[in-house]
Amino acid sequence: MTLPPPAAPAAAKRGVSLRTRILAATVAVALIAVLVTALAALQLVRTVDTSSARDALSSQVDRLAAAQPAAREAIIGGLSQIDSSGILISVVSPSGVVTGSAAVPPRVVLQLRLGRDVSTTERSNGTSYLLEARPTAQGGGVVALQDVGTVRAITPTLIGRILIALAIGFVVAVVAAFFVARVLAKPLVNLAGAARRMAAGQRNVPLAPSGIPEITDVEAALGALDQALVHSEGRQREFLLSISHELRTPLTAIRGYAEAIGDGLVPADQVVEVGKTLEAESNRLTAFTTDLLALARLEADDFPLRSGPVDVGQVLADAAAAWRAAGSACGVMVEVAASAPLVVTTDAARLRQVIDGLIENALRVSPAGSRVALSARLDADGRGGAQAVVEVADGGPGLTAEDAAQAFERGVLRERYRDARPVGTGLGLSIAARLIQRMGGSIAASPGPAGGAVFRIVLPAGTIV
């Protein structure tokens, strides 16, 4: 039966949601972008202001240096000591005498007398100045200084406006991030809801397509899991119903005869016959319960295996000898058709258990006059190595391709042929498949080349001694 789903974890124990993570990541990226842009803008504004002021100052000095001496003197004479732009202008005579409002360093005077242009920044009395000096054709030169503070007076206002624009952009980014996070997280939220409904037992849960390739892959996987659960649980219910029916039949017979005996309704001359019937029905119950317990043990993690060197040929010979009498009783010959010397490392008892189960199934369906053939050989594994192959072939009605594909699923062949041929509990082949899987090998069924069925066990190359 299906176990109840585990209780959902309390909301307080859940981690931060994907939507919150996306929102936080987007806001963090937006904040970093705003800060980097603000720093870059601050540096750029300062650089542009200084560069523009220097270009303007240089252009003015060039015009003064190119003017005639009289015009130059008239212009400079009309200037105040510090004009509205914070510009100081001085003239250096050919002899090195400085006249004007600008304090000209001696090294600048020397450069002008040598006929060289000067473009630099000077600091005087705690104030930084942009300095541009050009030599004149008559000798000496013109020097202009501008207070850097007046150049950058506009910078705070401009930076403030930039910061306001960046703040608005950041707010817009946060709002957009909220909606983007909601849109991106919605398909996953829907998937989580669908998964929870499946965990609660709901099947055929509808999944709305998201259109996002990666999430579509998850949707497809979850849909496939849903259908697999539907199929598996359906098969499980069918199996349980079948087992319940098979258990109820012998139990009904046993109970009926027990009540008859208890009520004294069984004649003395029928006691032996009734006893045999009770024994047969009890054996049926024992077979069912034994197979069910075997399946339960195979599903357990601590299922024991005792591996060691095993002579496969000897195992087949012992199995054939053990089943030869049962085969003779129904007119079927049990023989070892071929067996190469072959020793593998495996669990001898489990291997014999599988072979016994296959022989029992073969004898049940094989007609009188046929045979059950056991064989073992060494085959190439397709990777340059070798593998041990053990086969049990019978002369029964055989298997279709569909039968072979589903032979090891619990109860499938039993339900399919229960009214057409002798069947067992429907668990034997499933047990054999799980045993071989635990032993590291594989088992397959196929139609026989001349009729009947062939069951093939393959033990991997690593197990060969």
Last residue of a domain, one of 251, 270, 299: 299
Q: Based on the domain organization, do 451 and 388 belong to the same domain?
A: yes
User: What pLDDT, on the 0 to 100 scale, is given for residue 52?
Assistant: 82
pLDDT per 10-residue tile (average), the chain, 465 residues: 45 65 83 84 74 85 85 66 64 85 86 90 84 88 84 68 84 84 78 81 78 77 81 69 62 79 82 80 74 64 74 89 86 82 84 87 88 88 79 86 78 68 67 84 87 88 58
Between the CA of residue 199 and those of 204, 219, 226, 229, 278, what are the distances in Å?
A: 12, 15, 10, 10, 44
pLDDT at 422: 62
Considering the domain architecture, whether residues 345 and 446 belong to the same structural domain is answered as yes
Measured CA to CA in angstroms, residue 370 lies from 38, 332, 335, 365 at distances of 93, 5, 11, 10
* Domain end (from 299, 316, 339): 299
- The residue assigned the tokens 């594994």 is 381
Question: Is 233 a domain residue?
Answer: yes
Evaluate whether residue 6 is within a structural domain: no
The last residue of one of the domains, among 140, 175, 200, is 200
Residues 117 and 181 in one domain: yes
Do 257 and 190 have their domain in common?
Answer: no
171 and 274 together in one domain: no
CA–chain centroid gap for 119, Å, is: 64
Do 65 and 187 have their domain in common? yes
Same domain, 328 and 377: yes
Residue 442 domain-assigned (yes or no):
yes
User: Looking at residue 390, what is its pLDDT?
Assistant: 92
Whether residue 274 is found in the same domain as residue 327: no
Q: What is the pLDDT of residue 4?
A: 47
Here the tokens at position 229 are 């659960």
Instruction: Give the tokens for residue 62.
Output: 């060039």
Residues 278 and 410 in one domain: no
Q: Range of 313's domain? A: 308-463
Confirm whether 207 is domain-assigned. no
d(CA 444, CA 458): 9
pTM as predicted: 0.46
Domain count within the chain: 3
> Per residue, what are the HEC states of the chain?
CCCCCCCCCCHHHCCCCHHHHHHHHHHHHHHHHHHHHHHHHHHHHHHHHHHHHHHHHHHHHHHHHHCCHHHHHHHHHHCCCCCCCCEEEEEECCCCCEEECCCCCHHHHHHHHCCCCEEEEEEECCEEEEEEEEECCCCCEEEEEEEHHHHHHHHHHHHHHHHHHHHHHHHHHHHHHHHHHHHHHHHHHHHHHHHHHHHCCCCCCCCCCCCCHHHHHHHHHHHHHHHHHHHHHHHHHHHHHHHHHHHHHHHHHHHHHHHHHHCCCCCHHHHHHHHHHHHHHHHHHHHHHHHHHHHHHHHCCCCCCCCEEEEHHHHHHHHHHHHHHHHHHCCCEEEEEEECCCEEEECHHHHHHHHHHHHHHHHHHCCCCCEEEEEEEEEECCCCCEEEEEEEECCCCCCCHHHHHHCCCCCHHHHHHCCCCCCCCCCHHHHHHHHHHHCCCEEEEEECECECEEEEEEECHHHEC
Q: What local confidence, expressed as pLDDT, does residue 117 receive?
A: 92
For residue 31, what are its two tokens? 């904040």
Q: Evaluate whether residue 187 is within a structural domain.
A: yes
Q: Are 312 and 403 contained in the same domain?
A: yes
Residue 69's Cβ-side half-sphere holds a number of Cα atoms within 13 Å equal to 9
The answer to the question of residue 430 being in a domain is: yes
373-397: pLDDT as tens digits: 999 988 877 676 778 899 999 988 8
Q: What is the CATH number of the domain that holds 119?
A: 3.30.450
Residue 151 lies in a domain: yes
Instruction: Give residue 356's pLDDT.
Output: 85
Q: Is residue 139 in a domain?
A: yes
Query: Both 225 and 193 in a single domain?
Result: no
Q: Are 255 and 123 within one domain?
A: no
Retrieve residue 75's tokens.
């212009």
Residue 351's domain is classified under what CATH number?
3.30.565.10
At residue 7, the pLDDT reads: 46
What is the pLDDT at residue 386?
78
